[in-house]
Structure 1
């Protein structure tokens, strides 16, 4: 057998004969990255836990039993139970055809008689290593399939809607997406809350060369800090208290496809370092695991935060920002593309009429009223407003008064004036209903901070999770 370069594999040799351990290690270390040895089979479990073992050369007979091979079969069973992706070669000085057949039936990759010829041993280990790699790939595909099914069962999210716009601002966005999507460049989508960043991510993926594979999404603002690595990189059963089964991370699920990380500006600095290392190495290691998994993803990130300002303030890593924003796409707020409002109103009207089995149209006057409204919650607010109107309207015309109230048809105020106006409404409110006051307060804070959820939450004295629950509660 000829081998000129070392394989990346880790080999473990288990034999109570020191001479065998030394001879096998001297031979195999020329061809494999790491060769571990032990003369005690009780060490196997701990070594497999802490090292990414691919192949185990396992003696069949230790001190308890000289020739039957029962000990070898016992430890073979233990290895298969602990990690079925490891290929096991059983070794014995007492060659027996039936013993070899039984060993392979029990899960061994092959059977090696001692003393061996070097070429024969190298050939057997090479075949076992290739077999282990095949089993690891099958296992990864199986985990990916199971994880993808779980992700799909969580709901389709924003990808049910089309990414629309006919304004000059949106045409510029579409042009940038068309150029960038066909590359593997990392893309950062910026814009206020509700401008359609998730829809843009789906549009990028569908226009990319990876469209046949999955787009996996994760809202970084909605995961607990202690679950960050588990969500992104996965975990092994028993890695922590609630890890009752293996979990596939989002990086692995997105392999060969696209990974969309939403609200990236919410990521703490300590976790930014971990994310940067995964992006640089293109590898992840599940929590509690010891084998790095190669990943090939196209990264799409989104934020409503000003990341350069966050860098200046020490809240975001400059090197991570460089890594994620090869291309930056800014989504304009709806007030900057009011000519798109009639298109969006009619689109969502048709969608929700179909969903709720209604037949409704919108009058020209109401369309003008909707077009004049500032829509601080952007496209998300418009979609929710149309949905509520479809549900509550009577007759054949959409009744917008049920959802948007007295909308002014005058020129739209500036951001500062608009935020101040809503603050004044809070002070002069003629209601003492706590829920209504909370609704107005959250809305005013969002408007004041131009849709930046993190800053609004901080100003209100709320955690990100509590803020998101209120946004959901009030459809903001």
Structure 2
């Protein structure tokens, strides 16, 4: 990873230069590098040499094509080069068959254009996390004997503590059934890893597993996102779009951050789960679905049980089996095992020497509460591997708040300092950057505040390298 971006490289392949520009500008938020190309041949070569975190692939390159056949052909070639590649299909024709066929042939997910920025970001973040999980699992299997106990070698859910043994036991018993599962836990505890392990061990393992971050879905997009829509259902509905619940038919649907679903939308989800059918927006024909639901939330159980926050009938529908992931501070005995795994992983990734962790340092790391849980430990290990230059690790290599020289991060809500620079070019760049950060990189909102059109803002962002 480079700088403060969560992931390294995204590759976008499309025959429309405007689409490539929009994707490049938007995805810079989460990737250190976004490479775009109109040539699928060049894309295949790059996959072989650079192994992108996520690949966005256009479904149709030939003029007038709508069946996705050419996209499927290049999808197969890309997966032949890298079977673990995570590929999201882009299409202007969101018909049910195209989307379902794409995932049957190995695509991880799909997006339709024109896209909503929030939806594309959520889809790509989920895809990048899947790629990271696949990479970690591959390394884990190869080094299981040296890194972890044999039982943990099959899964990235490492841990030998009693609390993790209980979690793994619940997964083992629940996974082969079709029971809905609700995963509880603080941010960074690994809820999505549990969901993927449940799917992997289920009878639906040969089917797709799709994810929806309900915390990132705008209220007005909820019906379209989950249930789909037909062409002409609303102003921007230029083609049929299959919803996530239908696209996951025969597989598993992971509803992340389900606790963030507004109360007024919860009855719609409940009805779909009870009837096991959905009706796309603009259609009067319900569609039967066969999906297993795995949901997750970081909401405290007592708040989840508050009827003014979450409907009890929906909760009962979701938590047939409830798995609570413990925070890292409640399973400190697993920290040495996790730390050893991450340090080895990043040493191999970055070509760094493997260094020892002195006992006194290990004691401090085990005693630390790790507010960000396993995710924070992983980040700390990566930073330590990158920055360490001694024969062994020292405390200064780890970015703990009490560590001297630890980076200070300003709250996103903190007001920016007054602008003192009167240089016009630099002032314009600062104003654009402030507007983008204020609106969480929502291009429409930022452009409106700046008094620009979306296209004008995109051009200025490109000009200033934002």
TM-score (ref. length: structure 2): 0.56
Residues 296 and 313 (structure 1), Cα distance of their counterparts in 2 relative to 1, 3 Å cut = closer
- The residue that corresponds to 1:339 in the other structure is 333
Instruction: Tell me, in whole angstroms, the C-alpha distance in 1 between the residues paired with 2:201 and 2:108.
Output: 25
Instruction: Tell me, in whole angstroms, the C-alpha distance in 1 between the residues paired with 2:342 and 2:225.
Output: 33
Equivalent position to 1:157, from 129, 132, 144: 129
CA contact (8 A) 1:191 1:197 kept: yes
How far 1:437 sits from its partner (Å)?
A: 4.5
**Which residues of 2 match residues 369-448 of structure 1 at below 5 A?**
369-405=364-400, 436-438=409-411
Instruction: Tell me, in whole angstroms, the C-alpha distance in 1 between the residues paired with 2:394 and 2:237.
Output: 50
Which digits, 9 at most, give the CA deviation of each residue in 1:396-425, with x for residues without a partner? 5345524424659xxxxxxxxxxxxxxxxx
Q: Which runs of 5+ in 2 are unaligned?
A: 1-66, 68-94, 111-122, 137-155, 415-438, 442-466
**Which residues of 2 match residues 304-343 of structure 1 at below 5 A?**
304-343=298-337
- The residue that corresponds to 1:353 in the other structure is 347
Residues 403 and 244 (structure 1), Cα distance of their counterparts in 2 relative to 1, 3 Å cut = farther
- The residue that corresponds to 2:212 in the other structure is 218
How far 1:308 sits from its partner (Å)?
A: 4.8
**What secondary structure sits across from 1:189 in the alignment?**
strand
Which digits, 9 at most, give the CA deviation of each residue in 1:423-445, with x for residues without a partner? xxxxxxxx9x9x7442799xxxx
Instruction: Tell me, in whole angstroms, the C-alpha distance in 2 between the residues paired with 1:258 and 1:176.
Output: 18
Larger displacement relative to structure 2 (260-269 or 281-290) = 281-290
CA RMSD of aligned residues (A): 3.1
Which digits, 9 at most, give the CA deviation of each residue in 1:267-299, with x for residues without a partner? 011210000010011111222223222111111
Instruction: Tell me, in whole angstroms, the C-alpha distance in 2 between the residues paired with 1:233 and 1:398.
Output: 51
Q: What is the total number of aligned residue pairs between the two structures?
A: 286
How far 1:391 sits from its partner (Å)?
A: 2.0
Instruction: Tell me, in whole angstroms, the C-alpha distance in 1 between the residues paired with 2:187 and 2:355.
Output: 28
**What secondary structure sits across from 2:254 in the alignment?**
strand
Instruction: Tell me, in whole angstroms, the C-alpha distance in 1 between the residues paired with 2:293 and 2:211.
Output: 10
Instruction: Tell me, in whole angstroms, the C-alpha distance in 2 between the residues paired with 1:271 and 1:261.
Output: 14
Instruction: Tell me, in whole angstroms, the C-alpha distance in 1 between the residues paired with 2:393 and 2:230.
Output: 53
**What secondary structure sits across from 1:163 in the alignment?**
coil
Bigger Rg, which one: 1
How far 1:303 sits from its partner (Å)?
A: 0.7
- The residue that corresponds to 1:228 in the other structure is 222
Instruction: Tell me, in whole angstroms, the C-alpha distance in 2 between the residues paired with 1:258 and 1:406.
Output: 39
**What secondary structure sits across from 1:278 in the alignment?**
helix
CA contact (8 A) 1:307 1:321 kept: no
Instruction: Tell me, in whole angstroms, the C-alpha distance in 2 between the residues paired with 1:288 and 1:147.
Output: 25
Which digits, 9 at most, give the CA deviation of each residue in 1:145-169, with x for residues without a partner? 2367261793241533411111010
Whether 1:174 aligns to 2:146 is no
Which digits, 9 at most, give the CA deviation of each residue in 1:50-99, with x for residues without a partner? xxxxxxxxxxxxxxxxxxxxxxxxxxxxxxxxxx9xxxxxxxxxxxxxxx
Instruction: Tell me, in whole angstroms, the C-alpha distance in 1 between the residues paired with 2:199 and 2:307.
Output: 32
Query: After TM superposition, which residue ranges in structure 1, 4 or more long, deviate above 6 angstroms?
Result: none
**What secondary structure sits across from 2:384 in the alignment?**
helix
**Which residues of 2 match residues 83-98 of structure 1 at below 5 A?**
none
Structure with the higher helix share, 1 or 2: 1
Residues 211 and 380 (structure 1), Cα distance of their counterparts in 2 relative to 1, 3 Å cut = same
Residues 224 and 396 (structure 1), Cα distance of their counterparts in 2 relative to 1, 3 Å cut = farther
Equivalent position to 1:144, from 97, 100, 107: 100
Whether 1:301 aligns to 2:299 is no
Residues 354 and 336 (structure 1), Cα distance of their counterparts in 2 relative to 1, 3 Å cut = same
Equivalent position to 2:284, from 286, 290, 295: 290
TM-score (ref. length: structure 1): 0.55
